[in-house]
Amino acid sequence: MADRFGARNVFRIAIAMFTLASVLCGSAQTLAQLVAFRVLQGAGGAMMVPVGRLLLLRNVPKSELVAAMAWLTTPALIGPVVGPPLGGFITTYFSWRWVFDINIPIASPASFWLPCSSATCASPTTPVRLGRLSPSPPSPCPV
């Protein structure tokens, strides 16, 4: 899919799919709806991991690839440690729906952080530098 439609486009679609499914999970009224929306959320999340790695491999200079992979794997290492206590806190003091709604403000800006891949934007082959922790500059073209 990434080769046919572009890795950035597929990654944006995966983020949008995950975010929309999170909204739907948080608003589910039955167990069947929750399960169906979780499947959709899982499909979006499953697309993000390999396509995210592909974007790194294609856009990060070889000399910075190890550092970039470390940044990519850090959330996967922290998530299993922080996630269960945080989820327990959220469900105890707020609502189980907030476990899904918390993804929205995190995932929504992510598509704006991706450099645009259209002809009016920077070249998609321009390497991304990891010398700073801030996101890439705002894209001049719509997402």
pLDDT tens-place string over residues 94-126: 999 999 998 888 887 776 666 554 433 444 444
Residue 66: C-alpha distances to residues 52, 53, 61, 115 (Å): 14, 12, 10, 21
Nearest-CA neighbor of 23 among 46, 8, 40, 9? Answer: 40
Percent of residues, the chain, with pLDDT higher than 90: 34
- Give me the phi and psi of 6, to 5 degrees please: 95, 130
Contact 8, 117 (CB under 8 A): yes
**What's the pLDDT tens digit per position in 69-93?**
888 888 889 989 999 999 999 999 9
